[in-house]
Structure 1
Amino acid sequence: TVFILVCVCDLQEPSTKRVKPLSRVTSLASLIPPVKAAPLKRIGQTLQRSISFRSDCRPWGRQIAPAITKRRDSKLWSETFDLALGHMLSSTEIKRQEAIFELSQGEQDLIEDLKLAKKAYRDPMLKLSIMTEHELNQIFFTLDSLIPLHEDLLSRLREARKPDGSTDHVGHILVDWLPCLETYNSYCSNQVAAKALLDHKKQDHRVHDFLQRCLESPFSRKLDLWSFLDIPRSRLVKYPLLLREMLKHTPNDHPDRQHLDEAMNMIQSIVADINTQTGESECRYYKERLLYLESGQRDLLIDSSRILSCHGELKNNRRAKLHVFLFQDVLVVTRAVTQNEQLCYQLHRQPIPVRDLEWEDLQDGEVRLGGSIRGAFSHSERTKNFFRVVFRSGGQLQTHCFQASDAFNKQQWLNCIRQAKEAVWSAESGAAQTRDRSMMHSTDASSECPQMLSPVTVCCCTSEPLQ
């Protein structure tokens, strides 16, 4: 399965609109419009994305008639409080009040959803022994502890609201409360493991049937369990947007401006830190699930990787499904296998160092299924969206023709590979400059100390990508 884990494009909290579920990347990310098949999973943007999963459309057991969906009404500040007050305020101040009210209303919605996840999913599954307490603790993790945290903020915001519904200052509240969000570190870092366990448990007849019944019940608003479990991450990445909106409509001479500026810096730092730790956690998770057929496949570049740039399912030109991982310094081609009831990834051929990786975008119809390349062979769907990666080392030549699910997915892969190459070139360039400075220092020192060895000039070369 496939996905991409900080472009902040998928920042909306779950809506009542039913969308086609995506196949299974963190990145803590989300943060990508629905596609026909599994999308690439980008890491390093984990908080900006939901981690979606494959769901079977066929329910187990008795078919349940569709229920009327319970929709959540959206509320505006100007529609909730005294309309007469609105005529006394400037349009800028009204927009500021709307942003503050949206922050408060969002906290209330979040609390309701977290409580619903516990009451409608976790508690019944434990009581009915659909899952063990240990399994539920792994999936829901510290979800319970997040409820009082957000109840605290909601209480403070309501206390700051005046009888007429307006709020003068919220910056000091946020500056005091935002450090509490560091508790999100552990919750977001656990999401990859929680998602994997939930996917595995869905294969169980009782779990699948229970979740399907919940999905078709009014209380779910057509959201699956993972959508509720992912709501905290969704909310976390929305705080910078809400603060930016408040700042946009808060004059520079407003008493709340300084605190809002401070709060913005705080939340950006907190989100960046959680995002980094979540990405590293996701990278460790997949590294631990790599299976090596022989010791020669082990690579220090994999062991030393802390960043998983992207990963996902691709097909080769023989229509075989492969799961490809692009770590910061190495590309790893695997086949998904099940071992001890766990999804693992068995290495397929040798890992490819990014610095030696060459890539080429192939035109539609350029690949003959089953092997060879030829120009303008066909424009059928079966020969679209291919790209090629090549690795040459001494007498070794390794070539892969990969087919993405669609043109958008292919472009994501090519962008990730290009960025990984640029990062390696930049790192090597920086290292070369450091060595040059060190050599210059050593040369100066050797003129004063004849016993020192003369510096040796080191040349670094990298392969240019196939364009």
Structure 2
Amino acid sequence: MRTAFQKGQKIVAQDVIKKLFGNVETIHKFNLGILCKFKQRLSEYNGSFGDIFLDTIPQMDLYVSYINNYGLAIDTYKLSSSEKRFKTFCEEALQDIGGKLDLPAYLIMPVQRLPRYDLLLRELLKLTPENHVDYNNLVKAKDEIQKMNEFINDKQQEHENRLKLEQLQSKIVTSIPLVLTVPNRLFLREGKVNISKNNSSEVKGTLIAMNDILLLTKRDSTSIDRNIKKITSLILDVVPVIEQPKEEDEMILMDTVKFADKFTLRNEGGVQFTLCCGSDTWTITCENEKEQKNWIKALTEAIDTFSLNSTLDETMAQLNTDFNVIQARYGNLNRQAQVVDVTQILQKLVTEQGGSQLIIYPPAKKTLFGKLLSSSVKNKTLAIVYSLNGDVKIETYATDDTVKIGNLAQ
């Protein structure tokens, strides 16, 4: 399709090609490299393949971009399929390669690639004796591909969460700019409800729960200037969704309830529950009893989690003496899959050194962390978050740097 575009055959716009295929060309080149390594190894077979996986797995985070783009690719395909030139081009291209599948069936293949590598390594291990020369490398590769899959799943969830917040941001009409996409904010659930504030008449609306705020919205938009939402989108540089929300899908913001304000939740039984914050009370009527129970459960868990995190934050703020290692990570900090948590190791070392300082010379660093990461990991860095006499600080150290922090003896 890109070749056709470069030849002047404008099947679709250049940006549509990008939305459809993301970084698939980079992934294709990467997998060709893996294939070449396997072919070379077969020609000089020495009974070992695990090291090839160990060398290439750290680079597989390039799949994050493709997987995050996959939903957009499918939506773009559905919209573009109504264009005759695009539909004809796809049909002819598939005939040329003798394919019986449509384009979406090919687009999902890179998404399935890493889980299939995991299955492949598991099957190889079943057929490999423990005393085989490649057994240990295959075990390490299986563990590493699992970590990579977990990392990619986490990144995908973060991406989907951000898209959901952006979607809500585009639907909610408000008289002031509404910023939902802030760090650490997670979407929990939303549902259609009837809302009564301070015993006023009920209005039909939507209750939206995140891990730190609740949004109470109504569906009657006659009193709000619709241009406000357009201005808000420009101010916040909201990423446009493929299909703009229909007028009937828009929600008018009534109230925002912050978890930090320590509101209370009361189960009224049946289909109702009550939110109380300060002098205000909202009575929420759900569509059925099952929905009411789901809301009670979700909000109770969210309140408990927020309270726990707040307590931890307060505890950290009260660290006003001595020296404490809060968190420490070691590895290539630019690649999440190549990083390990070494907090407990350093905390133990602080205790051994008297509890008020941490000193690590380069040779000791290799002894402490050398077996935690593959030797193929480059640019290893030690990052330490610590509190010293009430201040929280972060320091980073290269492999050859000496670590000296804490209440050091003069």
Q: TM-score, normalised by structure 2?
A: 0.52
Task: State whether structure 2 residue 132 is matched by structure 1 residue 132.
Answer: no
For 2:283 and 2:124, the matched residues in 1 are separated by 52
What 5-or-longer segments of structure 2 have no aligned partner? 196-202, 220-225, 231-239, 324-410
CA distance in 1, matches of 2:105, 2:132: 38
Give the match for residue 30 of structure 1: none
Q: In the alignment, what sits opposite 1:172?
A: 51
The answer as to 2:114 corresponding to 1:236 is yes
Distance 1:324 1:201 in 2: 34
Alignment of structure 1 residues 444-459 onto 2, 5 Å: none
Give the aligned partner of residue 371 of structure 2.
none
Instruction: Specify which of 31, 35, 60 is matched with residue 150 of structure 1.
Output: 31
Q: CA deviation at 1:293?
A: 2.6
Q: Which residue matches 1:277?
A: 155
> 1:393 pairs with 277, 280, 284, which one?
277
- State the number of aligned residues: 288
Report the CA distance between 1:439 and its aligned residue.
9.1
Q: Deviations over 1:335-369 (max 9, x none)?
A: 7x99887434645433444574748698xxx6xxx
Q: Which has the higher contact order (CA 8 A, sep 6+)?
A: 1
On the 8 A contact 1:244/1:264 being kept in 2, the answer is: yes
SS in structure 2 of the partner of residue 253 of structure 1: coil
- Report the CA distance shift for 1:297/1:243 in structure 2 as closer, same or farther (over 3 A): same
| Amino acid aligned to 1:304 | V
The CA deviation string for residues 293-325 of structure 1, in whole angstroms up to 9 with x for no partner, is: 3345736xx34244544567x44479x998876
1:376 is matched with: none
Asked if 2 retains the 8 angstrom alpha-carbon contact of 1:332 and 1:350, the reply is yes
Which of 196, 201, 212 pairs up with 1:329?
212
Aligned to 2:360: none
User: Distance in 2 between the 1:361 and 1:154 partners?
Assistant: 63
Give the counterpart letter for 1:398 in structure 2: W
Q: Does 1:433 align with 2:315?
A: yes
What is the aligned partner in structure 2 of residue 181 from structure 1? Answer: 60
Cα drift, residue 238 of structure 1: 3.5
CA distance in 1 between counterparts of 2:111 and 2:296 reads: 28
Aligned to 2:112, the other structure's residue is in SS state helix
State how far apart, in whole Å, the 2-side matches of 1:392 and 1:238 are.
50
Contact 1:160 / 1:170 at 8 angstroms: preserved in 2? yes
Deviation at 1:174, TM superposition (A): 0.3
Within-5 A mapping of 1:294-333: 294-295=174-175, 298=178, 302-310=180-188, 314-316=191-193, 326-332=209-215
Cα distance, 1:206 vs structure 2:
3.7
Which residue in the other structure is 2:397 paired with?
none
What is the CA-CA distance between 1:427 and the residue it aligns to? 1.1
Aligned positions of 1:72-91 closer than 5 A: none
Following TM superposition, by how much is the alpha carbon of 1:256 offset from its aligned partner in structure 2, in angstroms? 1.4
Give the C-alpha shift of residue 397 in structure 1: 3.0
Distance 1:195 1:390, change over 3 A: farther
For residues 194 and 88 of structure 2, the distance between their equivalents in structure 1, rounded to whole angstroms, comes to 40
Distance in 2 (alpha carbons) for counterparts of 1:196 and 1:316:
29
**Sequence identity percentage:** 18
Structure 2 distance, partners of 1:332, 1:276, is 26
User: Deviations along 1:399-419, whole A, 9 cap, x unmatched?
Assistant: 445559xx8x99998876565
Name the amino acid aligned to 1:232: P
Could you say which residue in structure 1 is the equivalent of 2:306? Answer: 424
1:261 offset after TM fit, Å? 2.9
Name the SS of the counterpart of 2:173 in structure 1. coil
> Take 1:145 and 1:426, find their aligned partners in 2: how far apart are those partners?
43
**C-alpha distance in 1, partners of 2:212/2:27?**
36
Other-structure match for 2:255? 350
**Cα separation, 1, equivalents of 2:263 and 2:88:** 49
Give the aligned CA root-mean-square deviation in angstroms: 5.2
Question: Taking structure 1 as the reference length, what is the TM-score of the superposition?
Answer: 0.46
Where 1:190 maps in the other structure, the secondary structure is helix
Q: 1:160 to 1:192 in 2, by over 3 A?
A: same
- Structure 1 residue 191: Cα displacement: 3.4
**Mind listing any 5+ residue stretches in structure 1 that lack a counterpart?**
1-117, 367-372, 374-387, 442-467
- Whether the aligned pair in 2 keeps the contact of 1:171 and 1:263 (CA below 8 Å) is yes
Q: Quick check: 1:193–1:285 contact (8 Å CA) kept in 2?
A: no
**In structure 1, the residue corresponding to 2:312 is in which secondary structure?**
helix
Tell me how far apart the structure 1 counterparts of residues 143 and 253 of structure 2 sit (CA, whole Å): 45
Q: Whose radius of gyration is greater, 1 or 2?
A: 2
Query: Residue in 2 aligned with 1:264?
Result: 142
Q: Cα deviation per residue 1:269-314 (whole Å; 9 max; x = unaligned)?
A: 3333333333333344344441443345736xx34244544567x4
Going by fraction, where is strand more abundant, 1 or 2?
Answer: 2
Partner of residue 35, structure 1 = none
Report which stretch shifted further, 168-177 or 409-418: 409-418
